[in-house]
Amino acid sequence: MRHMLLATTLLSTLGAFALPAAAQNCDITVGVVMELTGPAGAYGQAGAKSVEMAFRDFNDAGGVDGCKLVTDTRDSQSQGNVAVDQATQLVNIKKVPVIIGGIISSVSIPILTSVTAPAGVVQVSPASSSPTLTALGREGKTNGVFFRTITSDALQGTAAAKYAIDQGLKKLAIIHVNNDFGVNMAREFAAAYEKLGGTITSTTPYNEKQSSYSAEASAAMTGEPEALYLVSYPVDGATIARAWISGGGAAKFLLNDGMNAQEFIDAVGAQYLNDAFGTSSGTAKTASTDYFYGNYEAFSGGIKPDAPAADRSYDAGAIVALARAKAGKGDAAAIKAAIPEGRAAGGEPIHAGKEEFAKALALIKEGKSVKYEGVIGPISFDEYGDITGPFRLWRIQDGKVTTVGEMSAEDVEKVKAETAK
């Protein structure tokens, strides 16, 4: 009798353990390749947490027929070759139908060209803004699998040029990171800035992770520029800004979107940045914006909701989750086809958070259309996976980033058309 009781107890115990195992087999894995370390580490850490938060909310709302979305998150180390290795493992070994990432273009582009496009795996980048990604789509080299929740630098460079002129910055030197993102941003900016009447005294590329940038800062001072347009990331950017100031450069800066980071301000010193201006891909406030700003910091363990790439990464996660639910199956082709359907014209507006995702899942089950209005605003993709949207104009005052205005997508397109003549 005692043996029978033991056997019954053992079987009951094994059964108890078998249930979670079965549930775990139901999990739907999405690959995430983010820059958790390296020059863009702050962006990737914020972005990865945002995707996790979007999936948490979606799973709490019921998931896909009760199955949870889970992430397999890999660190690109802010390097393209590392990113390709990690993405290859996710696609070939883990068989993921979707990869979210990278953050920076020099990571996203090699993932796209070497891994996701050839394999037909969906890729959604929250923050890769290089015009090269649009060009690859136009040339038919993306297999239609690429989407991004940030506007192209082809527009941001134009917005930055107009903002610089409006702030009286009419004689600039440029120092830019020597990768696809930096080269394209500097080129697009220069084309518009000079047509608007500005003068560029020099353009100096730099390689990442150097211990000193004194040589680059010194070279950029040729021609007596009144300010520096610095296209960089927070860590290297801070080293360059300090070298510029210590070498006698004017404490006036124009900065790209990723530089509106507290990490950069603290490293340079707030007292040197009161004449620092910048542009970012903007947002149109929705109920999702309020939800995200009210909940992200607690979820992320202290990362601020205005951290670069945080808001866009939540939207990337939400878009993937809703597409997977709409697709009804896990293959990449079905998910790719479902992504535009998550923002269907005339669909029921859906916002971020558990309750809103539960509403979306009910509508999808009824065969009805939904329209996700994200943290950054309503999102729709063109045929190349690009979005359009406003640009945020900001400056640094007393050690804090302050929004001072906005430039609509229509206004930027108008300036671009005028400067292209």
Q: Are 83 and 110 within 8 A, CB to CB?
A: yes
- 8 — pLDDT class (breaks 50, 70, 90): very low
The pLDDT score that the predictor gives to residue 25 is: 67
Residue carrying structure tokens 């680059």: 216
CA distance 111 to 219: 34
pLDDT for the residue 14: 34
Site of tokens 């005692």: 2
Q: Facing residues of 146 across strands?
A: 123
pLDDT of residue 378: 87
* Domains of the chain: residue spans and CATH: 22-151+285-378 (3.40.50.2300), 153-281+390-419 (3.40.50.2300)
Q: Is the pLDDT of residue 342 over 80?
A: no
How many angstroms separate the Cα of 409 from the Cα of each of 94, 189, 262, 393?
39, 16, 27, 13
Structure confidence by residue, pLDDT tens digits, 36-57: 999 999 999 999 999 999 999 9
153-166 vs 131-138: helix crossing angle, rounded to 10: 140
Judge contact between 263 and 42, C-beta under 8 A: yes
Which H or E run contains 108? helix 105-111
CB 221 within 8 A of CB 206: no
Percent residues over pLDDT 90 in the chain:
80
Distance of CA 65 to the CA centre of its chain: 29
Predicted local confidence at residue 283, as pLDDT: 82
**pLDDT digits 0-9 by tens, 287-318:** 999 999 999 999 999 999 999 899 999 999 99
Threshold 0.85, pTM exceeds: no
Q: For 124-154, what is each residue's pLDDT tens digit?
A: 999 999 999 999 999 999 999 999 999 888 8
pLDDT band, residue 344 (cuts 50/70/90): low
Q: Which of 14-18, 115-119, 182-186 has the lowest mean pLDDT?
A: 14-18
CA dihedral 309, 270, 156, 221 (to 10 degrees): -130
Cβ proximity of 166 and 404 under 8 Å: no
Task: For Cα atoms 78, 79, 84, give the angle at the middle one, nearest 5 degrees.
Answer: 120
- pLDDT single digits (tens) 201-247: 999 999 998 999 999 999 999 999 999 999 999 999 999 999 999 99
Task: List helix spans (H) across 26-99.
Answer: 41-60, 80-92
User: 125 forms bridges with which residues in the sheet?
Assistant: 148
Does 21 score more than 50 pLDDT?
no
- Of 26-40, 266-280, 306-320, 382-396, the range with the lowest mean pLDDT is 382-396
Average confidence (pLDDT) over 265-274 = 97
- Upstream peptide bond of 301 is cis (omega within 30 degrees of 0): no
For residue 343, what is the DSSP state? B
Question: What letter would DSSP give residue 270?
Answer: G
